[in-house]
Chain A
Amino acid sequence: MPAALRFPGGGWVASSGALIPLAIALAAWWVPDDADQGYSQRIFYFHVPIALTTYAAFAYGAFCAAAYLKTRDPRWDLRSYVGVHVGAIFGTLVLITGSIWAKVSWGVWWDWSDRQLNVFLVLFLYYCAYFMLRFSVDEGEQRMSYSAVYTLLGVGLIPLSILAVRIAQSLVHPTVFTTSGAAMTNDMFMTFLVAFAGMLCLAAGMIAMELRGKRAALRVRELRRRLEGTDL
């Protein structure tokens, strides 16, 4: 691997660096037009993978939160925090790409009757509040416990969000994945998979890099404390 990529997460970033441009190329030129929506539908190939990656990042955050509560090992808390953080970043991208898609396809920046988008908004708001909670508590065991509990509560929101979509019929937001399988051709599915894989790699890379950065900062602080004599 080239020296520039030899850092934690480098492998993931390299993969995403290959997959995402490929996905862009496939989505822009190779894949055939969608029968209903025309060219503008292509943003779907990014919007949905980014959304799924957001869910994946939050799920990773929740998994690490549960691991923290079980083991009380602060490393799990850090992983959980970084997972939620990267999820929040991707979540912002979902809302932006979603708005672009909505504007281009249906002429509005936001559609309040679109349940999927709004329910995603709820989850996004919830995890933004996570940061408010985390930083109102002094660093330590309490902060880690509370963050973990809050993250796990959010896990309840994910299936309930999906259920809310089922109950309220939305005529606007195209539902591509149903219980009977994906409503798209093989070409489209492949493009979708490439983009999804690329996004997951990017998220994993970002998580690895952020973890590395946070751990380095903690190490510096530990050294500073040792110098000042305020270490434990």
Chain B
Amino acid sequence: MIGDALALARKDLLLEVRRREVVLAMLQYVITTLVVIHFAIAGAGSSQKAAAGMLWAAILFTAVLSLNRCFAADQEEGALDALLLAPIDRAAIWLGKVLAQMTFLLIMEAIALPAFWLFFFGEKGPRPLPVIAAVLLANIGLATIGVLVAGLAQATRARDVLLPVLFLPLSIPLVIAAVTATLESFPGGSGAQKALQFLAVFNIVFTSLAWGTYEHLAGE
């Protein structure tokens, strides 16, 4: 199962390296979104705390961008059918996509996060380690629920519109915890442990649910 998932993840990464559709757009989008939000809350939000919120909003919306394209390559020539017909555990399809999505998110964050730190947090920012931990844990959660919801949305009539509608409510607890972790990592905060633990629990709950139910997304 893991082997199949890795093979499928490798396929998605290979396609991305060749076609460069998603990651560059994500980078562009995350930077632009940060700038837009910064200007949008210009009156109220020049504080560090507002910056923490901006960061996570931007990451979330960029994740939506990436998830919208998640099954695109599999649908072009109906390759998804071939995956469903293969003698593999169908959860491997889901897991492979999750691994690929996490990779895309990581690449985007590897560039966006330091840039963000430089421009918005500066010297007085939160302790980096808990924030990075939050980012890594959040990636798992976003990818886990995102790929499952993308699997639901891709078979419907209104797929581009439906994905954000289905995905965002699920992601709210994750964002709340991630922002809490970031805010509590500022000097004077009470520490991000509880929020990080929540993120871990969130991941465990939804990974189990997604793993168990992906099988049912096959078939018309």
Which residue from A140, A149, A157, A159 sits with its C-beta under 8 Å from B152?
A149
CB contacts (< 8 Å) of B210 on chain A: these are 153
Question: Which chain B residues in 193-217 approach chain A with CB under 8 Å?
Answer: 194-195, 198, 201-202, 205-206, 209-210, 213, 216-217
A155 interfacial contact with B, CB 8 Å: yes
A160 touches B145 (CB 8 A): no
B219 interfacial contact with A, CB 8 Å: yes
A126 interfacial contact with B, CB 8 Å: yes
B157 interfacial contact with A, CB 8 Å: yes
Docked pose: A146 CA to B169 CA in angstroms: 17
Docked pose: A95 CA to B219 CA in angstroms: 38
Which residue from B168, B173, B198, B205 sits with its C-beta under 8 Å from A119?
B173
Docked pose: A145 CA to B218 CA in angstroms: 9
B169 touches A122 (CB 8 A): yes
Total contacting residues, chain B, CB less than 8 A:
34
Which residue from B156, B165, B172 sits with its C-beta under 8 Å from A137?
B156
By beta carbon, the residue of chain A nearest B172 is A122
A217 interfacial contact with B, CB 8 Å: no
A145 touches B219 (CB 8 A): yes
A141 interfacial contact with B, CB 8 Å: yes
Known: A145-B216, A160-B173. A132 touches B148 (CB 8 A): no
Docked pose: A149 CA to B194 CA in angstroms: 29
Docked pose: A145 CA to B152 CA in angstroms: 10
A168 touches B217 (CB 8 A): no
Docked pose: A207 CA to B206 CA in angstroms: 28
Question: Which chain A residues in 45-96 approach chain B with CB under 8 Å?
Answer: 69
Docked pose: A152 CA to B148 CA in angstroms: 12
CB contacts (< 8 Å) of B157 on chain A: these are 136-137
A129 interfacial contact with B, CB 8 Å: yes
- Chain B proximity mask over A121-151: 1 for CB below 8 Å, otherwise 0: 0110110010011001100111001101110
A125 touches B169 (CB 8 A): yes
CB contacts (< 8 Å) of B165 on chain A: these are 129, 132
Docked pose: A167 CA to B192 CA in angstroms: 11
Total contacting residues, chain A, CB less than 8 A:
31
CB contacts (< 8 Å) of A140 on chain B: these are 220
CB contacts (< 8 Å) of A229 on chain B: these are none
Which residue from B155, B170, B202, B205 sits with its C-beta under 8 Å from A126?
B170
For residue B30, give the distance in angstroms from its CB to the closest CB of chain A: 24
Which residue from A123, A136, A146, A153 sits with its C-beta under 8 Å from B206?
A153
Known: A149-B152, A152-B209, A153-B148. A164 touches B169 (CB 8 A): no
A156 interfacial contact with B, CB 8 Å: yes
B50 interfacial contact with A, CB 8 Å: no
B91 interfacial contact with A, CB 8 Å: no
Residues of B whose CB lies within 8 Å of any CB of A are: 145, 148-149, 152-153, 155-158, 162, 165-166, 168-170, 172-173, 176-177, 180, 194-195, 198, 201-202, 205-206, 209-210, 213, 216-217, 219-220
